[in-house]
Amino acid sequence: MENLIGLLVAAPLLGAALLLCGGRRLDGKGHLLGTALALASFVIGAVLFADMLGRDEHDRALHSHLFSWIPVGGFRADVAFQLDQLSMTFVLLITGVGSLIHIYSIGYMEHDERRRRFFGYLNLFLAAMLLLVLADNYLLLYVGWEGVGLASYLLIGFWQHKPSAATAAKKAFIVNRVGDVGLSIAIMLMFTTFGTFAFAPVLSNATDASEGKLTAIGLMLLLAACGKSAQVPLQSWLGDAMEGPTPVSALIHAATMVTAGVYLITRSGAIFNNAPDAQTAVVTVGAVTLLFGAIVGCAKDDIKKALAGSTMSQIGYMILAAGLGPIGYVFAIMHLVTHGFFKAGLFLGAGSVMHGMNDEVDMRKYGGLRKYMPVTFVTFGLGYLAIIGFPGLSGFWSKDKIIEAAFAKGGTEGWILGGAALLGAAITAYYMTRVMLLTFFGEKRWVPDEQGNEPHPHESPKSMTIPMIVLAFGSVFAGGLFSLNDAFLKWLEPVTSHSHGHSPLSAATVTAGTMVVLLIGVAIAWVQYGRRPVPSTAPRGSLLTRAARRDLLQDDFNHVVLVKPGEYLTRGLVYVDHKLVDGVVNGTAASVGGLSGRLRKLQNGYARTYAVSMFGGTAVLIAATLLMRAV
């Protein structure tokens, strides 16, 4: 069984290699090859899952040592995989949703002439992401971490002929680098503290290290998570990342890659459990982001950017839960999985709508689409109900648990976090209802584009609707299945450990409270967008609305605080380089040149000049000798 783990990564990696190096010969069938290898990876994952279920719960982790990567003295880096319950959850999510999105892309990218390359990148992403979650040490995790960053960059900028896509790709890459610096520093700190960076020794010895060091490692890991998972303050890239093709947004920027930060924090739980200050930082980031993303999501008219704000906010929930410690790890991962289903479904739905509407993304130009796209409408609707936490659907089970866990943190902190999570739930209900109403209800508001093409909304082909239907099933039933007999809790507990906090509010009170804020959110959205006709150009809006449309001024903030000082610094450095460094170098060169020019004059080629110096020299020597003798 251990040998199969390597194959999980190898299958999509082979696909990427073949598709990217295979050239035009594979143009015709390349997408099928890519999809088949993604499915193969999923099948291997399923086999391993069945095998894992057959074993005792404390004996489930598999370990597979491939080879020693860098053995230098005391330093040892191995390429070794570890498949425990946590990794297994991710493997199934990544390969499952990944395969569905491969299938969807067959239809979505049908008319794109670079489709083979697209599938190559998707396979590359799958391989890197699987490496990330299967690694048994932080260094190999880092390799996967950078790999998904590369795949994300390539896919955001897939339509690189659009300047906006090329810029967005660069932005995502650069912002992610900031986070990656955090991860590399964390790994170095681990090595100096523990002498190794394999999961098992680091995490089991975490209690031996001083709290200061653990806090430092924790904060650096949090920085890494902020970059990859688009959390405040490194959130600015996610909205622009929507320039990529929609299946990419669904797979990478909603379901899998952006949740890598949650994985990292949950995996490093032993470090955070012993560093309360780092945990406080994590919950703060989570709470701030869940509100930040939700507010941004309310103001966007671009359907994908509204969903991107929502993704940011939902990952905020996960980070918040992960920061709560053993009370929250399981629920963070549970929300991650259910979110993977419904958010991927929502994005695929948005892609389907765009497919039918000539790639229009402005929701104010949709309206009344439920009659034209019944399948998209139903699957999107189920995803919508799941994300707002409609009772019985996936989001209800996972989000409710997180809100409960936030209250269970206890003390003032618990009230603040719980309050933020509840407020976030209300805003989620509001903005998702808004998306739903603008897109599928009301009057049709679409207009011909610049070339005068009237959009003819139509249902998408089967290859696109089937993945949406499968994901809709997941959105509806996953949460319920996970919560049946606390199945998910029992599954993950051996890895992440779990403790029930002491909530000041009973579970029923929290659920009731969530329902109330949910209804309030839906009602406000209905009053604003359901009852009244929607103007097809956005009204000016309040100060907050205008700020939220500009992503709460995140780019302006970055520009003023980071870019401008950076520019001044580089300008200053150029000045110093020009005047000081170049001045010294050029000055030395000029004086040496001048001196040698003068020295050169001594050599004039006339024999008598040399003779004079010879006679002169001899005369001086003789004079000196005589003088010495006289003295």
Partner 1 sequence: MNPVNYLYLAALLFTIGAAGVLIRRNAIVLFMCVELMLNACNLAFVTFSRMHGNLDGQIIAFFTMVVAAAEVVVGLAIIVSVFRARHSASVDDASLMKL
Q: Write out the residues near partner 1 by the rule CB under 8 A.
A: 601, 603-608, 611-612, 615
Q: What are phi and psi of 533, to 5 degrees?
A: -65, 150
Nearer to partner 1, 531 or 608 (CB): 608
Nearer to partner 1, 595 or 611 (CB): 611
Nearer to partner 1, 531 or 601 (CB): 601
Q: Where are the alpha helices (DSSP H) in 324-461?
A: 329-356, 374-388, 394-408, 411-440
CA distance 247 to 495: 32
3-state secondary structure of 536: coil
Q: Measured from the CB of residue 591, what is the shortest distance to partner 1 in angstroms?
A: 22
Q: Measured from the CB of residue 578, what is the shortest distance to partner 1 in angstroms?
A: 34
Q: Measured from the CB of residue 612, what is the shortest distance to partner 1 in angstroms?
A: 6
Nearer to partner 1, 568 or 615 (CB): 615
Nearer to partner 1, 531 or 600 (CB): 600
The DSSP string of 196-237 is --BHHHHHHTGGGS-HHHHHHHHHHHHHHHHHHTT-TTS-HH
CA distance 621 to 629: 12
Q: Measured from the CB of residue 590, what is the shortest distance to partner 1 in angstroms?
A: 21
Q: Measured from the CB of residue 611, what is the shortest distance to partner 1 in angstroms?
A: 5
Nearer to partner 1, 607 or 627 (CB): 607
The DSSP string of 291-303 is HHHHHHHHH--BH
Q: Measured from the CB of residue 21, what is the shortest distance to partner 1 in angstroms?
A: 60
The half-sphere exposure of 486 on its side-chain side, counting CA atoms within 13 A, is 9
CA distance 199 to 542: 50
Q: Measured from the CB of residue 585, what is the shortest distance to partner 1 in angstroms?
A: 28
Closest Cα partner for 375 from 303, 447, 450, 440? 440
Closest Cα partner for 60 from 93, 87, 80? 87
Q: Classify residue 461 as exposed, middle or buried by CB count within 10 Å of its CB (0-12, 13-18, 19+).
A: middle
Closest Cα partner for 116 from 45, 247, 10, 21? 21
Q: What are phi and psi of 542, to 5 degrees?
A: -75, 175
Partners of residue 68 on adjacent β-strands? 78
Q: Measured from the CB of residue 184, what is the shortest distance to partner 1 in angstroms?
A: 59
Q: What is the 3-state secondary structure (H, E, C) of 165-195?
A: HHHHHHHHHHHHHHHHHHHHHHHHHHHHHHC
**Residue that has been written with the tokens 């991962």 in this structure:** 333
Q: Measured from the CB of residue 620, what is the shortest distance to partner 1 in angstroms?
A: 15
Nearer to partner 1, 591 or 613 (CB): 613
Nearer to partner 1, 412 or 604 (CB): 604
Nearer to partner 1, 589 or 611 (CB): 611
Nearer to partner 1, 541 or 616 (CB): 616
Q: Measured from the CB of residue 575, what is the shortest distance to partner 1 in angstroms?
A: 40
Q: Which residues have CB under 8 Å from 599's CB, separation 6+? A: none
